[in-house]
Protein backbone atom coordinates (compact mmCIF):
# COMPACT_ATOMS: atom_id res chain seq x y z
CA UNK A 1 0.00 0.00 0.00
CA UNK A 2 1.23 3.50 -0.82
CA UNK A 3 2.20 5.78 2.04
CA UNK A 4 0.11 8.95 2.33
CA UNK A 5 1.94 12.25 2.41
CA UNK A 6 1.11 15.58 4.02
CA UNK A 7 2.62 18.98 3.30
CA UNK A 8 5.09 20.04 5.98
CA UNK A 9 4.65 23.79 5.65
CA UNK A 10 2.67 26.57 3.95
CA UNK A 11 -0.72 26.11 2.35
CA UNK A 12 -2.08 23.00 0.70
CA UNK A 13 -2.57 24.41 -2.79
CA UNK A 14 -0.54 23.30 -5.80
CA UNK A 15 0.84 26.73 -6.68
CA UNK A 16 4.20 27.76 -8.13
CA UNK A 17 5.44 28.93 -4.73
CA UNK A 18 4.46 25.64 -3.05
CA UNK A 19 6.19 23.10 -5.28
CA UNK A 20 7.41 19.85 -3.71
CA UNK A 21 9.06 16.61 -4.70
CA UNK A 22 8.75 13.24 -3.05
CA UNK A 23 11.97 11.91 -1.50
CA UNK A 24 12.64 8.62 0.23
CA UNK A 25 14.54 9.03 3.51
CA UNK A 26 17.18 6.57 4.76
CA UNK A 27 14.54 5.19 7.15
CA UNK A 28 12.40 4.20 4.18
CA UNK A 29 9.72 6.87 4.68
CA UNK A 30 8.44 9.07 1.87
CA UNK A 31 8.41 12.80 2.61
CA UNK A 32 7.77 16.01 0.71
CA UNK A 33 10.84 18.13 0.07
CA UNK A 34 10.19 21.73 -0.99
CA UNK A 35 11.84 22.79 -4.24
CA UNK A 36 13.03 26.25 -5.18
CA UNK A 37 11.71 28.09 -8.20
CA UNK A 38 13.84 28.06 -11.32
CA UNK A 39 15.75 31.28 -11.87
CA UNK A 40 15.43 33.00 -15.23
CA UNK A 41 18.53 35.17 -14.80
CA UNK A 42 19.04 38.86 -15.61
CA UNK A 43 17.71 40.24 -18.89
CA UNK A 44 18.71 43.34 -20.85
CA UNK A 45 15.99 46.02 -20.54
CA UNK A 46 16.64 47.27 -24.10
CA UNK A 47 16.86 44.08 -26.18
CA UNK A 48 15.16 41.66 -23.76
CA UNK A 49 17.94 39.07 -24.20
CA UNK A 50 19.63 37.20 -21.36
CA UNK A 51 22.91 38.78 -20.22
CA UNK A 52 25.81 36.45 -20.98
CA UNK A 53 28.33 35.53 -18.28
CA UNK A 54 26.07 35.98 -15.26
CA UNK A 55 24.64 32.90 -13.49
CA UNK A 56 20.87 32.40 -13.36
CA UNK A 57 20.00 32.78 -9.68
CA UNK A 58 17.03 33.91 -7.63
CA UNK A 59 17.10 37.66 -6.82
CA UNK A 60 18.18 37.19 -3.18
CA UNK A 61 21.21 35.15 -4.27
CA UNK A 62 22.80 38.17 -6.00
CA UNK A 63 23.35 39.95 -2.67
CA UNK A 64 26.87 40.99 -1.67
CA UNK A 65 27.56 38.21 0.81
CA UNK A 66 26.39 35.35 -1.40
CA UNK A 67 28.09 36.13 -4.71
CA UNK A 68 31.42 37.82 -5.34
CA UNK A 69 31.49 40.96 -7.49
CA UNK A 70 33.25 39.38 -10.48
CA UNK A 71 30.47 36.77 -10.70
CA UNK A 72 27.70 39.40 -10.47
CA UNK A 73 28.86 41.68 -13.28
CA UNK A 74 30.54 41.65 -16.69
CA UNK A 75 33.71 43.68 -17.22
CA UNK A 76 32.49 46.40 -19.60
CA UNK A 77 30.46 49.61 -19.53
CA UNK A 78 26.95 48.87 -18.18
CA UNK A 79 28.28 45.40 -17.32
CA UNK A 80 25.61 43.13 -15.93
CA UNK A 81 22.80 45.53 -16.89
CA UNK A 82 22.82 45.89 -20.68
CA UNK A 83 23.69 43.22 -23.22
CA UNK A 84 26.76 43.61 -25.43
CA UNK A 85 24.67 44.50 -28.48
CA UNK A 86 22.82 47.26 -26.63
CA UNK A 87 26.11 48.77 -25.41
CA UNK A 88 27.52 48.72 -28.94
CA UNK A 89 24.49 50.64 -30.25
CA UNK A 90 24.84 53.43 -27.67
Q: For 62-81, what is each residue's pLDDT tens digit?
A: 887 788 888 888 898 998 89
76 touches 84 (CB < 8 A): yes
Burial degree of 23 (CB within 10 A; 0-12, 13-18, 19+)? exposed
pLDDT of 27 over the 90 cut? yes
Residue 24: pLDDT band by 50, 70, 90 thresholds?
very high
Q: Is 32 helix (H, G, I), strand (E, B) or coil?
A: strand
Average pLDDT of the chain, as a whole number = 89
Task: Identify the bridge partners of residue 23 per DSSP, sorted by sequence position.
Answer: 31
User: Residue 2: enclosing H or E segment and its boundaries?
Assistant: none
Residue 66 pLDDT: 83
pLDDT of 56 over the 80 cut? yes
Residues 19-24 have a mean pLDDT of 93
Q: How much of the chain exceeds pLDDT 90, in percent?
A: 43
Kindly list the domain boundaries of the chain, sorted by start residue.
1-36, 38-90
Output the pTM of the full model: 0.67
Amino acid sequence: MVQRLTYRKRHSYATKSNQHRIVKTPGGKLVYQSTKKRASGPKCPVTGKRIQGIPHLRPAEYKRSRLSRNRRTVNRAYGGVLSGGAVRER
